[in-house]
Structure 1
């Protein structure tokens, strides 16, 4: 099975890496497509990759795994949507753009919705596999325990607080919480890690970098894969970011500010204050522990670390039953959009 791992944004690297490992184990040939603008950020420089769509065409893939919203209709291969987050309430998550033959869903909440859409559009299939990015939860849950211990010792802290807001200007809490983090940082028992999305506004990035430079127990993290920090953190602060759900699956407390989620099973505040009190109470009492289990069961009930394997097997099964699509039928306007993004 010849496979293309299709990357338009840096967040795709961590989602597709576990699939790459499965392909390696099975000795299946694969090629990374990495958009030219993010090529310098690609972490697997020794792997086979290209930014040239002509090379992707010539590769003649059987399967294309896509954690983004678009993929060229003219490429050979089963076009597979594997998603870049777990936030079903975000605009566009359930939008059918007609680029994909197969949707591999993370859990029952998503599967139900996409099966309903399948009945409506009748031009794609849906299978529930779990999400490749979270395989590490089943395989290497304690991978960063030593790193965490060393960090806490170095900063003489007891708990790690992770701040991971969304970048969306209308939804982000980053503009309103700087003073709250200054107050929280005065409590030396907390080490605060700031992890921003790649698309966060530059002026906010600079403000928080400056805060970290002048505050001993605040670290602005540049490393792209957020999984490391999710595993190390004891509590997370956020807003309407899909990473909230990734953290909840670890059964640890979350505090959000003005979240637009429809399934809030954690503490959410409508005002940007009292962060210190909220952190203390959630770490001490953790009143939402039972409610979080509802999210786990509906959003991602797989903890065996084998979602990537299920994804690969699902594609093999589809191809054996339906063959390899040579291209995908699209409307004229959809074709124009693809030409604009990727060329003809």
Structure 2
């Protein structure tokens, strides 16, 4: 099977890496598509990759794995949506854009919603597989324990707190938490890691980078894949971000500010000045530990580290039964959008 690993944003690298590894180990040919704007961040430059749509056409793929919202409709291959997060409350998560033949869902919550949409649109299929980015939770959850130990010893700290806000201007907490993060850092038992979304406004990146330069127990992390920081942190601070669910699935406490989810199963507050007291409460009492069971069962019940395998095998089976689609029916407006994005 010939596969395209389709990356429009650099968060796609960590999502697609387990699929790449499975393809590599099981005889499937693959090529990375990397948008020109993120080529400098691409971590696998020794592997076959391109930023040329023409080269992708010539590759004549059987499948395109896409953790984003758009994909060229005219490329050969089954167009497969594998998603870039778990935040179903985010605008657009359940929007049907008609570019995809197959949706590979992370868990029952997503599967049931897409089944309802399929009954309306009738132009795609759904298979529940789990999400490959989280395969490490099942295979090597302790991968960075030594690094965590060394970090804590270096900073003479006891707990690692991760601040990972969303980039959305309407939802981000970044403009409101700078002074609270600074006050939190006065408690030297805490080592605070700052990990911002790659699409975050540059001005806020600079403000928080400067803060980290001033204060020794605040570190602004630039590594693109957030998984390591999720694994080593003891508590997450955020707002309305998919990373919340990724952290909850590690069975650790989360604090958010003005989260817009319809069902909040963690500590949420509308008062930014409560950060310190909420951190202490959730580290010491973990009051929402029982509520996390719903997230485990509905958002991502797969803890075997085999989601990438399920995805690739599900696609291979689907193609064997249905063949590679000749084309998709796309509206003129959506054709124009894709042609504009990919410069056809």
TM bucket normalised to smaller: over 0.9
Displacement of 1:177: 0.6
| 2:296 alignment partner in structure 1 | 296
Displacement of 1:216: 1.0
| 2:307 alignment partner in structure 1 | 307
Secondary structure of the residue aligned to 2:130 is coil
| 2:201 alignment partner in structure 1 | 201
| 1:9 alignment partner in structure 2 | 9
| 1:31 alignment partner in structure 2 | 31
Report matched runs for 1:221-240 at 5 Å.
Answer: 221-240=221-240
Q: Which runs of 4+ in 1 moved over 6 A?
A: none
| 1:174 alignment partner in structure 2 | 174
Which whole-Å CA distance do the structure 1 matches of 2:105 and 2:212 have between them?
A: 38
Matched-pair contact (CA < 8 Å) for 1:157–1:191: yes
Displacement of 1:326: 2.6
Secondary structure of the residue aligned to 1:176 is helix
Matched-pair contact (CA < 8 Å) for 1:75–1:326: no
Check if 1:60 corresponds to 2:32. Answer: no
Which whole-Å CA distance do the structure 2 matches of 1:76 and 1:88 have between them?
A: 29
TM-score with structure 2 setting the length: 0.99
| 1:343 alignment partner in structure 2 | 343
| 1:210 alignment partner in structure 2 | 210
For each residue in 1:155-177, what CA deviation from the matched residue of structure 2 results, as whole angstroms up to 9, or x when unmatched?
Answer: 00000000000011111001011
Displacement of 1:327: 2.3
Which whole-Å CA distance do the structure 1 matches of 2:343 and 2:211 have between them?
A: 43
For each residue in 1:240-267, what CA deviation from the matched residue of structure 2 results, as whole angstroms up to 9, or x when unmatched?
Answer: 0110000000000000011111121011
Matched-pair contact (CA < 8 Å) for 1:7–1:34: yes
What stretches of structure 2 of length at least 5 have no aligned partner? none
Report matched runs for 1:217-296 at 5 Å.
Answer: 217-296=217-296
Secondary structure of the residue aligned to 2:273 is coil
Check if 1:150 corresponds to 2:150. Answer: yes
What stretches of structure 1 of length at least 5 have no aligned partner? none
Which whole-Å CA distance do the structure 2 matches of 1:81 and 1:330 have between them?
A: 16
Which whole-Å CA distance do the structure 2 matches of 1:292 and 1:233 have between them?
A: 17
Which whole-Å CA distance do the structure 2 matches of 1:219 and 1:85 have between them?
A: 24
Matched-pair contact (CA < 8 Å) for 1:105–1:128: yes
Which whole-Å CA distance do the structure 2 matches of 1:327 and 1:217 have between them?
A: 54
- Matched length: 344
| Aligned-CA RMSD value | 0.6
| 2:91 alignment partner in structure 1 | 91
Displacement of 1:274: 2.0
| 2:134 alignment partner in structure 1 | 134
| 2:192 alignment partner in structure 1 | 192
Secondary structure of the residue aligned to 1:92 is coil
TM-score with structure 1 setting the length: 0.99
Matched-pair contact (CA < 8 Å) for 1:185–1:191: yes
| 2:316 alignment partner in structure 1 | 316
Which whole-Å CA distance do the structure 1 matches of 2:251 and 2:109 have between them?
A: 18
Matched-pair contact (CA < 8 Å) for 1:238–1:256: yes
